[in-house]
A = this chain, B = another copy of it.
Amino acid sequence: MKTTDNLETLRARLAEFAAERDWEQFHNPKNLAMALAGETGELLEHFQWLTFEQAAHLPHDARAEVALEAADVLLFLVRLCDKLDIDLAAACDKKLALNAKKYPVDKSRGKATKYDKL
């Protein structure tokens, strides 16, 4: 079975994975938020001493490792949202709409300024 690029499929696979292992007891949202942050920290460590140039051109091996760390982040994020009954895709739609308002093209072009200081 493939994730076929789909958050709902991924959610279902992770729920099954946890249920088979009786891991529901550990998958409280508090724990999952911590696990998510831990994985993000691991991902971050790959980049901490790199120049921008190096970060944009990771060697093949490093890129493969980063890909697996990125997957870990997504897996815990999807699992967290599942346990909180959050529709992650809908939340992304909502956030993208908010971002479009907060960062109008003409005011934010070429600037990394946070919206409240634009």
* A residues with CB within 8 A of B: 2-8, 10, 13, 17, 20-23, 25-26, 28-31, 33-50, 52, 55-56, 58, 63, 66-68, 70-75, 77, 80-81, 83-96, 98-100, 103, 105, 108-110, 112
Contacts and interface: CB of A to CB of B under 8 A. Distances in A.
Contacts of A46: 33
Contacts of A80: 70
Interface SS, A side: helix
A73 B46 CA distance: 17
A92 to B, nearest CB: 5
Contacts of A94: 67-68, 71
B36 A108 contact: no
